[in-house]
């Protein structure tokens, strides 16, 4: 299956309604390239790893912390996702679900709802909006950013849109996948998109 065909099938599945990340063991991606209100979003796709934690691991959160940090994405915190739309214009972010489940709206009000469960992970490009809508009581995620990056958090504010778009264009493309520390799903999916954007620019 070609990457283009795979992307089309995934977009069709999202168009059908809420997407469950636990439906497949392969990394999947979602395009959220168009702005939504005051949320700039990003041409780089959102990447979802369903059930990436090994079956023998008893502590998903600790596994995410070890894996992210060893891969050059130091684990920064354990917490739920903010219940209001926000984004980070200055860095990409990876989240690993340490416990429970949640329905998270990505891409702003016109985006897509994604159901995340313990063991799932999601890589959120700089500028892509996210908001926890529903969640189990025990839900929390492990958050991490590329080495040396500190997130700025911005709400859905149309007055900030132009400035945020300029910031996003300056965010470097990570050279280390948050799970492998080298090449992986992130580089496989993001590099071709980044190269295409460079040629278009």
What average pLDDT does the chain have?
Answer: 87
Give the bridge partners for 39, in sequence order. 36
More confident residue, 3 or 49: 49
Evaluate if residue 104 carries a pLDDT over 60. yes
Evaluate if residue 16 carries a pLDDT over 60. no
Residues 6+ apart with CB under 8 A from 35: 41, 108, 161
3-state helix, strand, coil in the chain (%, to 5): 25, 30, 45
Task: Give the tokens for residue 169.
Answer: 């264009």
Mean pLDDT, residues 133-149: 96
- How far apart CA 26 and CA 54 sit, in angstroms, is 13
Evaluate if residue 157 carries a pLDDT over 70. yes
Task: Give the tokens for residue 86.
Answer: 């926000």
pTM: 0.86
pLDDT 10s digits, 26-72: 788 999 989 999 999 999 999 999 999 999 999 999 999 999 999 99
At residue 106, the pLDDT reads 97
Residues 6+ apart with CB under 8 A from 178: 67, 68, 71, 72, 73, 94, 121, 123, 144, 184, 186
- How far apart CA 167 and CA 89 sit, in angstroms, is 6
Fold of 3-200: Jelly Rolls (2.60.120)
Let me know how many helices (H) and strands (E) the chain has, helices first. 4, 12
- How far apart CA 196 and CA 190 sit, in angstroms, is 10
């Amino acid at each position: 299956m070609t990457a283009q065909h795979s992307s089309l099938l995934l977009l069709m599945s999202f168009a059908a309604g809420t997407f469950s990340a636990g439906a497949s063991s392969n990394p999947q991606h979602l395009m959220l390239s168009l702005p939504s209100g005051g949320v700039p979003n990003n041409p780089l796709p959102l990447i979802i790893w369903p059930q990436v934690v090994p079956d023998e691991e008893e502590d998903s959160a600790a596994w995410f912390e070890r894996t992210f940090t060893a891969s050059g994405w130091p684990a920064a915190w354990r917490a739920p996702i903010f219940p209001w739309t926000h984004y980070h214009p200055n860095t990409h972010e990876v989240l690993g679900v340490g416990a429970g489940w949640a329905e998270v709206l990505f891409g702003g009000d016109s985006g897509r709802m994604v159901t995340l469960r313990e063991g799932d992970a999601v890589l959120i490009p700089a500028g892509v909006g996210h908001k926890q809508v529903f969640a189990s009581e025990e839900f929390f995620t492990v958050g991490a950013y590329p080495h040396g990056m500190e997130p700025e958090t911005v709400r859905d504010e149309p007055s900030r849109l132009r400035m945020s778009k300029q910031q996003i264009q300056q965010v470097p493309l990570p050279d280390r996948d948050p799970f492998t520390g080298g090449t992986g799903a992130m580089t496989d999916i993001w590099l071709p998109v980044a190269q295409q954007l460079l040629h278009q620019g």
